[in-house]
Amino acid sequence: MVNRTLALLLLAATPALAQAPPQAIPEKIIVIPPREDAPQIEPGSEIPLLVEANGTVVLESRTLTREKLAERLSSLSKQNAKQLILLRVKADTPYQTVTEILDLCQKSGISNISFDATLPEAAK
């Protein structure tokens, strides 16, 4: 009896739902204010590290081998323990390559790493 009543209720409500105009979901922009205690980064203090899809890495506009990259990152971490590395990864770069570079950064003493998520001009 309950199943029959539920079925009749659903059959009666279905046409009403189909005729209802769709509700538009308003777009909202969420602004997250910066934390007051967050460390301030001086513009230009970050060092970009580009990782290409083929595994090539470019640091400070120079293409480096993994060994030279490790040496340079180690030198940077000794100069500034909080050095920010801005990691830019091409969209078609394998995940394994990205994790290898992150591991290399960490082993070289760099722990302040940020991903650059800016869209290329063509994608905007």
Q: Residue 105 maps to which CATH number? A: 3.30.420.270
Q: Which helix (H) or strand (E) holds 101?
A: helix 95-107
Give the tens place of pLDDT for each residue, 4-61.
666 666 666 566 555 556 666 566 666 666 666 655 555 558 899 999 999 999 998 9
Give yes or no for residue 124 having a pLDDT over 50: no
Report yes or no on 58 lying in a domain: yes
Report yes or no on 29 lying in a domain: no
| Local structure of residue 123 (DSSP, 8 states) | G
Residues of the domain holding 104 = 47-117
What is the reported pLDDT for 81?
87
Report yes or no on 101 lying in a domain: yes
Would the pTM of this model clear 0.75, i.e. be above it? no
Give the tens place of pLDDT for each residue, 69-81.
999 999 999 999 8
How many other CB atoms are there within 10 angstroms of residue 105's CB atom? 21
How many other CB atoms are there within 10 angstroms of residue 88's CB atom? 15
Beta strands 57-59; 62-64: pairing state: antiparallel
